[in-house]
Amino acid sequence: MLRHKYSYGEHPSQWGELFIPEPTNGNHRGASTVAGGIAVVIHGGYWRSQYGAELGEPLARDLAAHGITAWNLEYRRAGNGGGWPHTFEDILAGIDHLSEIAGQHDLQLGKVVALGHSAGGHLAVWAAGRQKLSSIGTPDADRQLQRGSEDNAVHLTGVVSQSGLLNLAAAEKLNLSNGAVCNLMGGDSHRFPKRHKYADPMSSLPINVPVYAVHATDDEDVPASQSEAYVAAATAAGSAAQLLRVPGDHFDLIDPKAVAYKKCRELVQRLLS
């Protein structure tokens, strides 16, 4: 496969790496000729700086091996310049940067699907609702987050969430990973209620982007209630969301050899077909 690394900002964590299938796959110039689009891989790690894009690289490599161009996205995390609002700014800017490099690789951006694991699932589904952000009743939080014009944005057309943290309010109440939500948001929801609402994928429902919420049956890191609550709320609101349970634990979802991951890849292919 071919690999190209690009920066979308000046911070050392503002970069992504494009994995393009080999010419032997009939797809030297980009994924659009095979899969109809691009997969954005967003890694997890409870938004903390000790976890990085190396978690997403095996997935990006596997997707490229199956004829899909993948954009393995790094971003600022809490502890290295990220957290509110910069982590969120980076996710949108990193996805939008695909439009800057599309011409170099004949990338077609009509179908752009995100594959997000754990905290990356949260960021992926949140980004899928970006068009609703200015209308969910949190104008102060919206002004704090700098982003490009929606007219020039690259919009996600589907999401595969892998045991994603899709109900931020509940994740805070459960104190998942020793206060990871408060760490991300710079404080708890009592101090910053609008900020927390703005960052919660539940707040943007309904959205017109299909979401597959895949959850590992033996996941001990993110409770299944995170995916269950989101899908229940999404379907009640009229969004296209589906809950799928797969065998394995939290990390089987990012193991290219595991059944849990292979189901996620199949769903990415389905969304891009």
83 or 23: whose pLDDT is higher? 83
- pLDDT mean over 137-150: 92
Position 24 scores a pLDDT of 57
Q: Which token pair is 188?
A: 């708890």
Residue 152 phi, psi (nearest 5) = -110, 10
- Which residue matches tokens 């494009």? 18
How far apart are alpha carbons 187 and 227 in whole angstroms?
A: 24
Give yes or no for residue 212 having a pLDDT over 80.
yes
Asked whether residue 27 carries a pLDDT value surpassing 70, the answer given is: no
pLDDT of residue 32 exceeding 90, the answer is no
pLDDT tens readout for residues 60-75: 999 999 999 999 999 9
pLDDT tens profile 151-186:
789 999 999 999 999 999 999 999 999 999 999 999
The residue among 259, 258, 256, 200 whose CA lies nearest residue 68 is 256
**Average pLDDT of the residues of the chain:** 94
Give the predicted TM-score (pTM) of the model.
0.95
- CA geometry: angle 160, 163, 166, nearest 5 deg: 80
Contact 245, 217 (CB under 8 A): yes
